[in-house]
Amino acid sequence: MNEGRQNRIRSVRGDIAFAFVVAIGLYIAWLIHDVLFIVYVSGLFAVVLMPVVNGLRHIQIGNWKPSRAIAILLLFLIVGGLTALFFGIALPPVASDLNQFARELPVRGPQLLLRAQQLPLVRHLDLSSLSAKLQDIASASASYLLISIRTGAGKLFDILTGVILTVYFMLEGEAAYAWFLSFFPANQRVRLDLVLSRAEVRMGKWLLGQGSLMLILGLVSTITFLFLKVRYAYALGVLMGVFNLVPIVGALISVSIALIVAAIDSWGHALGVLIVYLVYAQLENSILTPRIMKSSVGLSGLAVLIALLLGASLAGVAGALVSVPTAVLVGELLDEYLVKPKVIATDSAEVETVSIL
């Protein structure tokens, strides 16, 4: 009797101690959540980039095949070469467009407001005060730009840290992965390993698919802006492609900017941009996205939208950037461990299990 009571007391004490340890762990995690986020993003990008590294390792020249370190070095050389090509060829017209846009904004901004007053919906609105304030906003843009650059410079260290961590994850990821699996019972490791392997394949396909969509939209946008003689065509084209990295939200922001810039010159230009984008959106949603993304990643539009909202609310732009691959990982874990199979009775009175997802 006394022995059972002592066992219960020890069990209660153990539960209380465990609760305190968990609470302290969560508090420490909250204190260093910025560092943990960098580690998570670095690991995620390492997982996403590993299919590219493995593809480079299949290159064979005679009897020589690159090792993992050489493949990672080749990947960074390719990315660095493309970046240098962009800065050497594509950036000068983009910088020229942005410089011209900054010079003409104080003049063309009020002109756009005057044109907007001619529209039936806003004809009776008083936009004179907004036009006057536009001059103040334009004059304050330089100081705001300096503040933004100073803030961005503070984030440069985090970006460099993330790049270094990504390289280390790609080099030593297998050892870290095995160490992570060692925390689970031996009979559960194989199942978890299979789930994470499926998620890794889907996340790798997400990067390739998203990169293809970014390139296609950037090229289509640049050609459209040049054909319609929209100002700052190169800058807007690059902006459309880069912002497409964040699904749905990025496209809405970039299209809104393009419409405003086109409307400064002509409502016809703005209408042309809108028509082209609507046609492209239909083409992307009906053909490109199903073939490039849905067949590989397998996420519904609702799941992508919810993931974007959660990621943006938790970590801003960076959270939105990694929201889709994170949703892939979470979806695989939920499908394996929490989603219950749906039981369907067949005509032969047999029972068949079908996954809900």
Output the tens digit of pLDDT for each of the chain's 357 residues: 566 666 666 666 767 777 777 788 888 878 888 888 888 888 888 888 887 888 888 888 888 888 888 888 888 888 888 778 766 766 676 667 667 666 666 666 566 666 655 555 555 555 455 455 545 554 554 454 445 445 555 567 778 888 888 888 888 888 888 888 888 888 888 888 888 888 888 887 777 777 788 888 888 888 988 888 887 787 788 888 888 777 666 777 788 888 877 877 777 788 888 888 888 888 876 777 666 666 667 777 677 778 877 887 887 777 877 888 888 888 888 888 887 655 444 444 444 444 434
Question: What is the CB neighbour count within 10 angstroms for residue 109?
Answer: 18
**Token output for 239:** 């902006």
**Token output for 286:** 């009906």
Q: Strand 342-345 vs strand 351-354: parallel, antiparallel, or unpaired?
A: antiparallel
Separation CA 207–CA 204 (nearest Å): 5
What kind and span of H or E run contains 247?
A: none
Among candidates 107, 127, 108, 105, which has minimal Cα distance to 117?
127
Separation CA 236–CA 252 (nearest Å): 13
Separation CA 267–CA 117 (nearest Å): 13
Question: What is the CB neighbour count within 10 angstroms for residue 318?
Answer: 17
Q: At what angle do helices 233-243 and 186-227 cross, to 10 degrees?
A: 160
Can you give the pLDDT at residue 148?
47
**Token output for 31:** 């204190």
Distance between alpha carbon 43 and the CA centroid of its chain, in Å?
14
Within 8 A by CB and 6+ apart from 106, the residues are 134, 135, 138, 139
Separation CA 101–CA 93 (nearest Å): 12
Within 8 A by CB and 6+ apart from 65, the residues are 57, 58, 59
Q: Which residues of 182-192 are buried (b: 16+ CB within 10 A; e: fewer)?
A: eeeeeeeeeeb
Question: What is the CB neighbour count within 10 angstroms for residue 331?
Answer: 20
Separation CA 85–CA 54 (nearest Å): 25
Can you give the pLDDT at residue 138?
47
